[in-house]
Structure 1
Amino acid sequence: MDDTLLLRYSRQIMLPAFGIEGQERLRLARVLVVGLGGLGSPVAMYLAAAGVGRLVLADHDAVDLSNLQRQIIHTTDRIGTPKAESARTTLAALNPEVELVLVRERLTAETLPELLRDLDLVVDCCDNFDTRFVVNAACVGARKPLVSGAAIRLEGQVTTFSGQPGGPCYQCLYPRNGGIDETCTANSVLAPVLGIIGSIQATEAIKVLSGLGEPLFGRLLVLDAGRMEWRQVRLVADPGCPVCGAASPQP
């Protein structure tokens, strides 16, 4: 690592439990960010700034005026631009050392396994449950860690799934037939709540990739921003889960 990179990342390299070794792990890491909206904006920006070597940016949508209240990776002059391209412009200016790969198509159960083959971790920042379930199943099948976050109104939640046998998965938390709303796009949200949850998602990703601290495996953090209170919920694997349970198909 040359002097320029040492200076760029010096504040996190100085962390006693991180050091140059942690920075090198980030440099070699390959991460998929699913969705470049209110959550994906801070996630992608913090991961790029921290020096993650390759970011795969997946979003099939285009920038809209209504996005700009919360999707801080985009700008007014990019309205109509594909979000993946808009994000690339911001991230390349933030840290030109990071390799940026764009996926402009909707992620599906058919395309995800090949995409995950060369990746180390997935951060789910999308705004609909159909995609969340597909991403979760692919991560379980590929045994890749998944950092999941969500926010609506003044509430948010975040957790990390290890992707390893015996641990819970997203469908253990939200059974697919559980009667949940199938879209988040029509609901209100306070922009900074997305920033809080997205920042924690980025922190979790860096922890898993670098070996820093203790990830949120088996724990769900829930935020009530109206009262600015956090609570923690213990997550356990559902033996009957059709994705990760004992009777589920094995990779």
Structure 2
Amino acid sequence: MPNDILRPVDRITVVGHPTQVLSALPKFANSDRFSRQTFLGHDAPERIDSLKIGIVGLSGGGSHIAQQASHTGFANFVLFDAQAIDCSNLNRLVGGTEDDVLKGRLKISIADRVITSINGLANTEPVPARWQDFPESLRSCDIVFGCLDGFDERRQLEAACRRYLIPLIDVGMDVTEMTGKPPRMAGQVILSLPGYPCFHCIGFLNERNLAAEAARYGDAGINPQVVWPNGVLASTAVGIAVDLVTDWRKSKPGLIYKSYDGNSDNLTDHPRFEYVSDRGCPHYPLDALGDP
């Protein structure tokens, strides 16, 4: 460092599987509170409590994740969303009420209320803006949950997480109208872990869907969303995060790519998973870190 100055740090994160944090943050690990999840490991409450998680997008899946992560023992949150709740969010936003709509409350304020009502000692940093405007807040996270609608938004978030060595868990769903058939409900949960295949490697992001989205830019439209698939996908994402921290499943580290079929209520490994899961990532080399 310049002039040989040594500066103290308040936390050290070891990225991998398991992800570990050595932190000066206060601990909250009431043994009775977590007595039903001791199978995760004797030190699981401390491991979970020590991490800071970011949630980008607090509408459908993000609101589920905020609630479930708090119940599970995560106690340090950064919440990104610039929008206020509206009436159309009440069919899926966990914790949202008619009073919130009438008062125009921000979605991050509702998530903050849900989290702190479950754990009064939780630390929350609500950010009423896009994460791109507060990159330092994103950098402070140990795990990020991406609950975004667009492909390009996902591309930007993954690129930032890769550069900062932050595991990213993407959650998303969509409903497509089908001619002469029932609408098709589908979704995904993807763990993007530094050093392992990224969204481009697995074909989730490609030039075709990015270009198609760019061509539609500015078009008015509403993405169909309902509460139950968001709950399924969010629960899966929280489970992935818990295993990433505790390694209770003793699973193989690396890519996770789950595909959800809402018409048949099936959640399985995506067909591409077995072909790319063992590869490295040429798009985000581990020597290309930090701010671009």
TM-score by length of 2: 0.74
Which of 98, 102, 107 matches 1:83?
A: 107
Query: Post-superposition shift, 1:160?
Result: 0.8
2:175 matches 1:145: no
Residue 35 (structure 1) aligns with: 57
Aligned pairs for 1:1-251 (under 5 A) are 5-12=30-37, 14-15=38-39, 18-79=40-101, 80-108=104-132, 111-112=134-135, 114-153=136-175, 154-163=185-194, 165=195, 167-172=196-201, 173-180=203-210, 182=213, 186-213=222-249, 214=251, 217-233=254-270, 234=273, 235-236=276-277, 241=283, 244=284, 249-251=288-290
Letter in 2 for 1:211: D
In structure 2, what residue type is equivalent to 1:26? I
Aligned pair in 2 of structure 1 residues 216, 42: CA closer, same or farther (>3 Å)? farther
- Does the 8 A contact of 2:56 with 2:80 survive in 1? yes
Change (3 A) 1:186 1:245: farther
Per-residue Cα deviation, 1:123-154 (whole angstroms, up to 9, x for no partner) = 11122233211110011101111111111122
In the TM superposition, what whole-angstrom CA distance separates every residue of 1:145-187 from its partner, at most 9, and x where no partner exists?
A: 1111111122111121112x2x111233333522255389722
> How many matched pairs?
241
Q: How many angstroms does 1:92 deviate by?
A: 1.1
Return the offset for 1:33.
0.7
Gaps of 5+ in 1: none
User: 1:5 aligns to what SS in structure 2?
Assistant: coil
Question: Is contact 1:107–1:131 with CA below 8 Å preserved after alignment?
Answer: no
Counterparts of 1:2 and 1:245, CA distance in 2: 34
Distance in 2, matches of 1:174 and 1:30, equals 27
Residues 60, 225 of structure 2: 8 Å contact kept: no
TM-score by length of 1: 0.85
Change (3 A) 1:212 1:27: same
Pairwise CA distance, 1:239: 5.7
What's the C-alpha RMSD, in Å, of the aligned pairs? 2.7
Structure 2 CA distance, aligned partners of 1:120 and 1:249? 19
CA distance in 2, matches of 1:87, 1:3: 19
CA displacement, residues 39-85 of structure 1 (integer Å, 9 cap, x when unaligned): 00111101111111201111111101000101123222111111111
- The answer to whether the Cα contact below 8 Å between 1:40 and 1:198 also exists between their aligned partners in 2 is yes
Deviations 1:217-245 (A, max 9, x none): 3231111121122331214558653xx15
SS of the residue corresponding to residue 79 of structure 2 reads: strand
Using a 3 Å threshold, how does the CA distance of structure 1 residues 44 and 24 change in structure 2: closer, same or farther?
same
Larger radius of gyration: 2
Q: Gaps spanning 5+ residues in structure 2: where?
A: 1-25, 176-184
